[in-house]
Amino acid sequence: MKKNKEVETVHMDDSAFLILQEQRRAFIEKFGREPGPSDPVFFDPEYDVPTPLSEDKLESMFHAAVLSTTHAFSKSDN
Protein backbone atom coordinates (compact mmCIF):
# COMPACT_ATOMS: atom_id res chain seq x y z
CA MET A 1 0.00 0.00 0.00
CA LYS A 2 1.40 3.38 -1.01
CA LYS A 3 1.39 6.31 1.35
CA ASN A 4 0.16 9.57 -0.07
CA LYS A 5 2.78 12.23 0.38
CA GLU A 6 1.66 15.78 0.85
CA VAL A 7 3.28 18.18 -1.54
CA GLU A 8 3.88 21.69 -0.34
CA THR A 9 4.79 24.55 -2.62
CA VAL A 10 7.38 26.93 -1.25
CA HIS A 11 7.62 30.35 -2.85
CA MET A 12 11.06 31.94 -2.86
CA ASP A 13 12.75 34.93 -4.38
CA ASP A 14 15.49 34.71 -6.98
CA SER A 15 18.33 34.90 -4.46
CA ALA A 16 16.97 31.94 -2.45
CA PHE A 17 16.58 29.96 -5.68
CA LEU A 18 20.17 30.75 -6.68
CA ILE A 19 21.46 29.65 -3.26
CA LEU A 20 19.68 26.31 -3.59
CA GLN A 21 20.95 25.85 -7.15
CA GLU A 22 24.51 26.52 -5.97
CA GLN A 23 24.11 24.04 -3.11
CA ARG A 24 22.88 21.40 -5.59
CA ARG A 25 25.85 22.08 -7.89
CA ALA A 26 28.30 21.85 -4.98
CA PHE A 27 26.69 18.61 -3.78
CA ILE A 28 27.04 17.00 -7.22
CA GLU A 29 30.64 18.19 -7.51
CA LYS A 30 31.54 16.87 -4.04
CA PHE A 31 29.68 13.54 -4.05
CA GLY A 32 29.36 12.78 -7.77
CA ARG A 33 25.59 12.35 -7.72
CA GLU A 34 22.32 14.22 -7.43
CA PRO A 35 21.17 14.89 -3.86
CA GLY A 36 18.44 12.58 -2.62
CA PRO A 37 15.43 13.36 -0.45
CA SER A 38 17.27 12.48 2.77
CA ASP A 39 20.47 14.40 1.92
CA PRO A 40 21.14 17.73 3.65
CA VAL A 41 20.77 20.90 1.60
CA PHE A 42 23.58 22.56 3.55
CA PHE A 43 26.28 19.93 3.96
CA ASP A 44 29.73 19.99 5.52
CA PRO A 45 32.31 19.77 2.70
CA GLU A 46 34.93 18.43 5.12
CA TYR A 47 33.19 15.02 5.18
CA ASP A 48 33.29 12.34 2.47
CA VAL A 49 29.62 11.47 2.99
CA PRO A 50 26.73 13.97 3.01
CA THR A 51 26.73 15.36 6.56
CA PRO A 52 24.62 18.32 7.67
CA LEU A 53 26.49 21.46 8.62
CA SER A 54 26.66 22.00 12.34
CA GLU A 55 24.57 24.85 13.67
CA ASP A 56 27.76 26.77 14.50
CA LYS A 57 29.17 26.43 10.96
CA LEU A 58 25.83 27.37 9.39
CA GLU A 59 25.60 30.44 11.63
CA SER A 60 29.18 31.45 10.78
CA MET A 61 28.48 31.14 7.05
CA PHE A 62 25.31 33.22 7.43
CA HIS A 63 27.14 35.98 9.29
CA ALA A 64 29.96 35.99 6.73
CA ALA A 65 27.42 36.32 3.90
CA VAL A 66 25.63 39.18 5.67
CA LEU A 67 28.93 41.01 6.29
CA SER A 68 29.99 40.49 2.69
CA THR A 69 26.67 41.81 1.38
CA THR A 70 26.77 44.78 3.75
CA HIS A 71 30.33 45.59 2.67
CA ALA A 72 29.37 45.35 -1.03
CA PHE A 73 26.40 47.70 -0.53
CA SER A 74 28.50 50.23 1.38
CA LYS A 75 31.11 50.27 -1.42
CA SER A 76 28.41 50.79 -4.06
CA ASP A 77 27.15 53.89 -2.21
CA ASN A 78 30.49 55.69 -2.74
Per-residue pLDDT of 22-73, as tens digits, reads: 999 999 999 999 999 999 999 999 999 999 999 999 898 888 888 877 766 5
Ranges of each domain in the chain: 14-76
Residue 6 pLDDT class (50, 70, 90 cuts): confident
Beta carbons within 10 angstroms of residue 70's beta carbon: 10
Helix, strand and coil content of the chain, in percent to the nearest 5, comes to 50, 5, 45
> What pTM, to 2 d.p., does this model score?
0.69
Sequence-distant (≥ 6) Cβ neighbours of residue 51 within 8 angstroms? 40, 43, 44
Q: Would you state the pLDDT for residue 3?
A: 65
More confident residue, 1 or 60: 60
Report the distance separating Cα 71 and Cα 66, nearest Å.
8
Q: Would you state the pLDDT for residue 72?
A: 60
Is residue 60 classed as helix, strand or coil in its secondary structure?
helix
